[in-house]
């Protein structure tokens, strides 16, 4: 079994059975995972998946199956969730990065507009000497600049936090998948030991 990375760059090669037959003759076509169209759809999907995996929830499908000793079934459910988490998480991170870029652009526009309207240079500036062309950073002075700069910084922090949480979640899901596989093969010892390790 070969798993193709879920990526926009690879989609043109296997989006339809005909395209796959041209790119990789003889391979069985499986429909690619569709991406949520909006940030709200992606968040909604991630919340649904979380409710299916939450230890405090009666809908915890994977935990219920593992606890019942049905490691294979739990593994299949988990494997079905991983691609959905991947595409929804990528949409969330991408949209937050776009918002970060927009906030930075908005800050730059506020600074440029105020600089153009001001004839006197009343802003404090710090010049970097380490480059041939001097880079100038202008400290925010007006309320509009400070507000725009705060929004840009907070949006950037939120995007970084989301990306970090997304990669952590994927690592945990893949680790759980590996543990389930080891439990099925008996590498972890008795089923009860495997169940405890997987559920922790």
pLDDT the model gives residue 164: 92
Tens digit of each residue's pLDDT (9 = 90 or more) over 114-142:
777 764 444 444 444 444 444 444 555 67
Query: Which span out of 5-19, 48-62, 89-103 was modeled with the highest average pLDDT?
Result: 89-103
Region 84-110 average pLDDT: 87
Tens digit of each residue's pLDDT (9 = 90 or more) over 22-40:
877 888 877 777 889 899 9
pLDDT the model gives residue 150: 84
Please give the residue that has the higher pLDDT: either 4 or 18: 18
Please give the residue that has the higher pLDDT: either 15 or 171: 171
pLDDT the model gives residue 89: 92
Rounded to 5°, angle at Cα 105 from 99 and 108: 145
User: Given CA atoms 19, 21, 25, 29 in this order, what sign does their dihedral have?
Assistant: positive
Rounded to 5°, angle at Cα 168 from 170 and 33: 25
Q: Tell me, what DSSP letter sits at residue 26?
A: T
Region 145-169 average pLDDT: 87
Q: Which residue, 75, 52, 83, 54, is CA-closest to 195? A: 75
- Kindly report the average pLDDT of the chain as a whole number: 78
Percent of the chain with pLDDT over 70: 80
Percent of the chain with pLDDT over 90: 12
Tens digit of each residue's pLDDT (9 = 90 or more) over 34-89:
889 899 999 999 988 887 776 655 567 777 888 788 888 888 888 888 889 998 99
114 burial via Cβ count (<10 Å: 0-12, 13-18, 19+): middle
Radius of gyration of the chain (CA): 24
Region 158-186 average pLDDT: 87
Question: In angstroms, what CA-CA distances link 186 with 79, 191, 195?
Answer: 19, 8, 11
Distance of CA 197 to the CA centre of its chain: 26
Question: In angstroms, what CA-CA distances link 4 with 1, 30, 97?
Answer: 10, 10, 25
> Does residue 17 surpass a pLDDT of 70?
yes
pLDDT the model gives residue 43: 92
pLDDT the model gives residue 138: 54
> Could you tell me the two tokens for 77?
């459910």
């Amino acid at each position: 079994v070969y798993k193709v990375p879920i990526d926009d760059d690879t989609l043109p090669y296997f989006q339809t059975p005909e395209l796959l037959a041209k790119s990789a003759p003889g391979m069985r076509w499986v429909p690619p995972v569709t991406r949520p169209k909006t940030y709200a759809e992606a968040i909604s999907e991630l919340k649904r998946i979380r409710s299916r995996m939450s230890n405090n929830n009666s809908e915890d499908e994977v935990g219920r199956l593992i606890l019942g000793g049905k490691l294979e079934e739990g593994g299949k459910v988990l494997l079905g969730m991983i691609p959905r988490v991947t595409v929804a998480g990528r949409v969330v991170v991408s949209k937050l990065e776009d918002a970060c870029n927009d906030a930075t652009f908005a800050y730059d526009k506020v600074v440029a507009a105020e600089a153009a309207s001001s004839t006197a240079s009343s802003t404090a500036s710090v010049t970097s000497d380490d480059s041939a062309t001097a880079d100038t950073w202008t400290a925010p002075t007006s309320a509009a600049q400070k507000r725009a700069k705060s929004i840009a910084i907070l949006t950037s922090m939120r995007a970084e936090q989301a990306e970090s949480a997304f990669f952590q979640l994927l690592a945990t899901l893949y680790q759980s998948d590996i543990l389930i596989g080891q439990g099925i093969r008996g590498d972890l010892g008795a089923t009860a030991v495997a169940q405890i390790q997987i559920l922790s």
